[in-house]
Amino acid sequence: DTAVSQTPKYLVTQMGNDKSIKCEQNLGHDTMYWYKQDSKKFLKIMFSYNNKELIINETVPNRFSPKSPDKAHLNLHINSLELGDSAVYFCASSQTRQINQPQHFGDGTRLSIL
């Protein structure tokens, strides 16, 4: 019973390609997130959706486009991939207005650009 699942786990592709990462949570949470973790392990928030509405949009190139078809799903599409996009991308979810509730993370998608 995976709480937050993201696919694929690994993504190896060439520069210039377009790719998508999917995320689903079965925790009933109303907020979902995308994070990028670079090679130095720094976690950077990219986007957050609350009940399908975009609420956090950090400084991210517009080649990255999130989509939330419903509150249990948050997908990330990346156009024209660049070498600097190589990283681990984490999906996470949380419940709003319950400050003691942590984020739950997926296992990450390791994206490698050749």
By the rule CB under 8 A, 100 interacts with another protein: yes
- Which of 28, 69, 84, 102 contacts another protein by CB under 8 A? 102
The amino acid at residue 79 is N
Token pair of 23, please?
């995320």
Contact track, another protein, 27-66, x by CB under 8 A: ----x-x------xxxx-x--x-x----xx----------
By the rule CB under 8 A, 111 interacts with another protein: no
DSSP class per residue in 43-79? EEEEEEEETTEEEEE-S--TTEEEEEEETTEEEEEE-
